[in-house]
Amino acid sequence: MGDRIRRELKTLETMVHIYCKDEGHGTNALCDECRELLSYSKKRLTTCRFGEKKKVCGRCTVHCYKDEFRQRIRLVMRTVGPKMIYRHPLMLLGHAVDMLRY
């Protein structure tokens, strides 16, 4: 696993944790639903056929998520994305660079 995938995994994990806590699902630990989403998303990311040269998932031509999980992760991204500016600006910057690069 390369640096880019590791960085995306960390960003994904951070966003799901923020979402779960802000939505009142759990306290410090993830609720079952968010834990399931994170586990599924990690599996999809680590087994991506494009590897380190992948586009960001929202711009990918191959949608490998099941519809249920795709809707859930999109909600997480839409909800937490704007908050990342204040909570984790460097993570957001890394993601923005990936969006432009690939």
For residue 96, is pLDDT > 80?
no
Look at residue 79 in the predicted model and tell me its pLDDT. 93
Per-residue pLDDT band at 102 (split at 50, 70, 90): low
pLDDT of 51-89, one tens digit each? 877 777 777 778 888 999 999 999 998 999 889 889 888
Residues 20, 31: contact at Cβ < 8 Å?
Answer: yes
What's the pLDDT at 41? 93
Mean pLDDT of the chain: 86
What is the full DSSP assignment across the chain? --HHHHHHHHHHHHHHHHHHHHTTS-SSSPPHHHHHHHHHHHHHHHT-TTGGGPPPGGG-SS--S-HHHHHHHHHHHHHHGGGHHHH-HHHHHHHHHHHHH-
